[in-house]
């Protein structure tokens, strides 16, 4: 990947919507008071969340088809579920209960409902009945115990992972873990 492409991807990520997220992340690190047991528990949640995001990003082909392979066979929004687990995990690692409460409230009251309204309508319009069937059968955030019966069996793909820019999220999560570990052991 050339540097121009990376710079353009970075510019897209820094928007009015993402600035508060970056400021909250800085605040999380700044006010962190990590303790070993909570750090480990939060690390497990954070790594689980990022693993879900990596798995999902390698299956997602945005606007090309209804993705039903990988984690999408179990949950409609694995990227958002992963993000939620990462946020919860990082807040637990930092022992920051105020940011955890704010993050959960924003996710439940604003983010998840907004994304549901916006994306469901767009996907229904684009993919019609195939989206409607999938939407009815697969839950949004609490995974099914069995995979969606009509799922496709596409393998995880590195090119999809890169195209979906998950490597940037992975780097940010690892940086956050590293900074919180530094706060724990300094």
One DSSP character per residue, 125-172 reads: HHHTHHHHHHHHHS-SSS--SS--TT---PPP-HHHHHHTTHHHHHHH
CA distance 107 to 113: 8
User: Over the chain, what is the mean pLDDT?
Assistant: 90
Q: How many domains does the chain have?
A: 1
Q: Is residue 23 part of a domain?
A: no
Which range marks the domain in which residue 129 is found?
A: 37-185
Q: Is residue 3 part of a domain?
A: no
Q: Say what percent of the chain tops pLDDT 70.
A: 91
**CB atoms closer than 10 angstroms to residue 145:** 5
Q: Is residue 119 part of a domain?
A: yes
Q: Is residue 21 part of a domain?
A: no
**CB atoms closer than 10 angstroms to residue 170:** 15
Mean predicted confidence (pLDDT) in 141-163: 95
Q: Is residue 178 part of a domain?
A: yes
For residue 25, name the pLDDT band (cuts at 50, 70, 90).
confident
Q: Is residue 80 part of a domain?
A: yes
Mean predicted confidence (pLDDT) in 3-23: 60
pLDDT tens per residue across span 35-93: 999 999 999 999 999 999 999 999 999 989 999 999 999 999 999 999 999 999 999 99
Q: Is residue 16 part of a domain?
A: no
In terms of phi and psi (left: phi > 0; alpha: psi -120 to 50; beta: otherwise), the region of 66 is beta
Q: Is residue 6 part of a domain?
A: no
């Amino acid at each position: 990947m050339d540097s121009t492409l990376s710079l353009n991807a970075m510019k897209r990520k820094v928007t009015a919507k993402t600035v508060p997220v970056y400021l909250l992340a800085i605040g999380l690190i700044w006010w962190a008071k990590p303790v070993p047991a909570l750090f480990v528990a939060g690390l497990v949640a954070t790594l689980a969340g990022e693993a879900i995001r990596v798995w999902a990003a390698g299956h997602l082909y945005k606007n090309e088809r209804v993705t039903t392979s990988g984690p999408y066979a179990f949950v409609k929004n694995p990227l958002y579920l992963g993000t939620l687990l990462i946020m919860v995990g990082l807040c637990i690692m930092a022992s920051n209960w105020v940011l955890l409460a704010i993050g959960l409230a924003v996710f439940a009251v604003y983010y998840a409902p907004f994304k549901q309204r916006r994306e469901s309508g767009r996907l229904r319009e684009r993919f019609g009945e195939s989206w409607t069937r999938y939407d009815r059968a697969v839950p949004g955030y609490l995974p099914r115990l069995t995979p969606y019966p009509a799922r496709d069996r596409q393998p995880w793909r590195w090119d999809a992972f890169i195209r979906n820019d998950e490597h940037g999220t992975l780097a940010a999560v690892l940086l956050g873990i590293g900074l919180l570990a530094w706060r724990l052991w300094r």
